[in-house]
Amino acid sequence: MRHAPLFLGLDIGTSSLKALITNADGSVIAHASAEYPLATPHPGWSEQDPDQWVAAAHAATREALVRACAAGHAEPGRRIAAIGFSGQMHGATFVDRDNRPLRPCILWNDSRSADECEELDRAIGAPVILQRTGNRMLAGFTAPKVRWLQRNEPSLWARTDCVLLPKDYVRLCLGSVRATDAADASGTLYFDVEHRAWSADMLRDLGIATTQVPGCHESPDIVDRLSASAASAMGLAAGIPMVAGAGDQAANAVGSGIVAPGAVAASLGTSGVIFAASDSFRASPDGALHAFCHALPGRWHVMSVMLSAAGSLRWFRDTLARDATARAAAAGVPDYELLDRDAASVAPGCEGLRFLPTLAGERCPFPDPHARGAFTGISLAHGQAHFTRAVMEGVAASMGLCMEMIRAAGIHAPQVIGSGGGFESARWTSMHATAFGIPIVRAEIPDAAARGAAILAAIGAGALDPGTLHPPISQSGTTQPDRSQGPLLQALMEEQALLQRTLRLLKGNK
């Protein structure tokens, strides 16, 4: 009896690697994950050992195969027909001629290169960078990380034979080919997003040789095959085709079915992301939105990234509401459910208390690596519950401003597909739907990026037609905007925009 082929998706996240085994249609057979540490040797630094990703890929795949067997799927290791990849974007992995990492990878959330951003904006010209790449220079991107290494660790730069993104290093270690894809390369800031190719002008001005970047492909393209040594470590057969894959946001969109032009998704996790698919290149005039290639050929997307979304509530819990864990345990509820109940005890608007959620610099809606958060309007009438609700309202208002920018780019969606832990709160979801002015439909797509990676593998193997992709959602999870609260959220958005402009003016006057 011949068994149907299976597909493996590997998602290299910031805290763990997820391995997902699916059928050709993306239905999940088994999944597993393996964690690894994050190093912060200096304030603003964020690094990881690339070889820990590879070890995690081995371990998570083996565990996923065990779980597939336990679920009654015969010989899953022999049935994997292709492997796809997803990964945290922007990370700079510097390797020598033998493909060995020269130092820990500098991650997407590392802000050490803020000075390099300003230097490159002056040297190349911010308008020129935007015209060449469709994006503005930000510390999270790869280009300023390269410049930081050139200036601060020149001996390592002299030995750098190639700069790889995280998922591409993992794939290289599982095979033998240096490769990337247009979606992930879009986040380097030396890639011509409109024409889906490396920007020769940006590479020249950054001092990066064309030999120091990998070959670029479309996400479903087969670019390598699994080596015998990697196959042995993972419990798979040697020679399995491996596709280029995509950066986590584009892969997440594929896994969530956000591929049709005009489809919009919002993720409320540590960061807050709004992703809008398009059939054409749409760079915002000021570069406030990211303009990237989608994971499907002939598609692009625009994306807003707010760095401290649900992460703001986690920070609040861990600092100003440290009693929440003990109170939640006493009440027999999770921490965040207790905070949600606290917020319910306060009237909308928090009696004038406001929260600015720029705790770690910002990308969107106010790009500024030096931005910092604030509570304003504090009075003696405010208690801890007011601060809790103010955090939730401040994040929703900022995400609402991001959605306004998506509309300004010409994308008007009738609804938003919502994912991420923040949307598990009905109250917070309602705030966001009200700020967006359109319904939020809760998606039922755990591990969407890993699922997207597996789907890209199935497309690359010819087992799946990308035209059949659609969001796997439940309409019963729809949250409509609260029209009675619409004026309040709009006022909060306007106040937040005014406060940010004022702070930037004050900073400029120093």
Domain assignment present for 498 = yes
pLDDT, tens only, 262-315:
999 998 988 899 999 999 999 888 888 999 999 999 999 999 999 899 999 999
Running DSSP on this structure, what letter comes out for residue 483? G
> What is the CATH number for 404?
3.30.420.40
pLDDT, tens only, 432-471:
999 999 999 987 777 889 999 999 999 999 999 998 888 7
Instruction: Work out the pLDDT band at 474, boundaries 50, 70, 90.
Output: low
Instruction: Work out the pLDDT band at 500, boundaries 50, 70, 90.
Output: confident
Residue given tokens 């309202």 in the structure block: 393
Domain assignment present for 203 = no
Q: Which domain holds residue 492?
A: 310-410+482-508
More confident residue, 183 or 138: 183
221: annotated active-site residue = no
Q: Which residues contact 192 (CB under 8 A, 6 or more apart)?
A: 132, 133, 198, 199, 202
Domain assignment present for 402 = yes
Domain assignment present for 321 = yes
Render 303-338 in DSSP notation, one character per residue.
EEEESSSHHHHHHHHHHTTTTHHHHHHHHTS-HHHH
Cβ atoms of 302 and 264 within 8 Å: the answer is: no
* pLDDT at 374 (0 to 100): 92
Q: What burial letters (b/e) apply to 227-262, b meaning 16+ CB within 10 Å?
A: beebbebbbbeeebbbbbbbbbbbbbbbbbbbbeee
Residue given tokens 């040697």 in the structure block: 238
Instruction: Work out the pLDDT band at 510, boundaries 50, 70, 90.
Output: very low
3-state DSSP of 404-470: HHHHHCCCCCCCEEEECHHHHCHHHHHHHHHHHCCCEEEECCCCHHHHHHHHHHHHHCCCCCHHHCC
pLDDT, tens only, 49-91:
999 999 999 999 999 999 999 999 999 999 999 999 999 999 9
pLDDT, tens only, 205-246:
999 999 999 999 999 999 999 999 999 999 999 999 999 999
pLDDT, tens only, 370-412:
788 999 999 999 999 999 999 999 999 999 999 999 999 999 9
* pLDDT at 363 (0 to 100): 83
Q: What does the alpha-carbon distance between residue 423 and residue 440 come to, in Å, rounded to a whole number?
A: 9
Q: What does the alpha-carbon distance between residue 415 and residue 70 come to, in Å, rounded to a whole number?
A: 39
Domain assignment present for 294 = no
pLDDT surpassing 60 at residue 1: no
Domain assignment present for 64 = no
Burial of 153 (0-12, 13-18, 19+ CB in 10 A): middle
**By C-alpha distance, which of 442, 438, 345, 434 is closest to 384?**
345
Give the three-state DSSP class for 368. strand
* pLDDT at 475 (0 to 100): 53
Identify the active-site residue in 110, 184, 205, 248. Answer: 248
Overall domain count for the chain:
1
Backbone angles phi, psi at 199, to 5 degrees: -90, 110
Domain assignment present for 251 = no
**By C-alpha distance, which of 107, 108, 93, 89 is closest to 247?**
89
* pLDDT at 470 (0 to 100): 81
Q: What does the alpha-carbon distance between residue 148 and residue 2 come to, in Å, rounded to a whole number?
A: 54
Domain assignment present for 395 = yes
What mean pLDDT comes out for the span 99-128? 95
Cβ atoms of 454 and 463 within 8 Å: the answer is: no
* pLDDT at 480 (0 to 100): 96
Q: What percent of the chain has pLDDT over 90?
A: 85
Q: What does the alpha-carbon distance between residue 163 and residue 504 come to, in Å, rounded to a whole number?
A: 34
3-state DSSP of 8-39: EEEEECCCEEEEEEECCCCCEEEEEEEECCCE
What mean pLDDT comes out for the span 477-494? 95
Instruction: Work out the pLDDT band at 139, boundaries 50, 70, 90.
Output: confident
**pTM reported for the whole predicted model:** 0.88
Backbone angles phi, psi at 178, to 5 degrees: -80, 120
On average, the pLDDT of the chain sits at 94
Instruction: Work out the pLDDT band at 127, boundaries 50, 70, 90.
Output: very high
* pLDDT at 368 (0 to 100): 81
pLDDT, tens only, 20-42:
999 999 999 999 999 999 999 99
Backbone angles phi, psi at 146, to 5 degrees: -60, -45
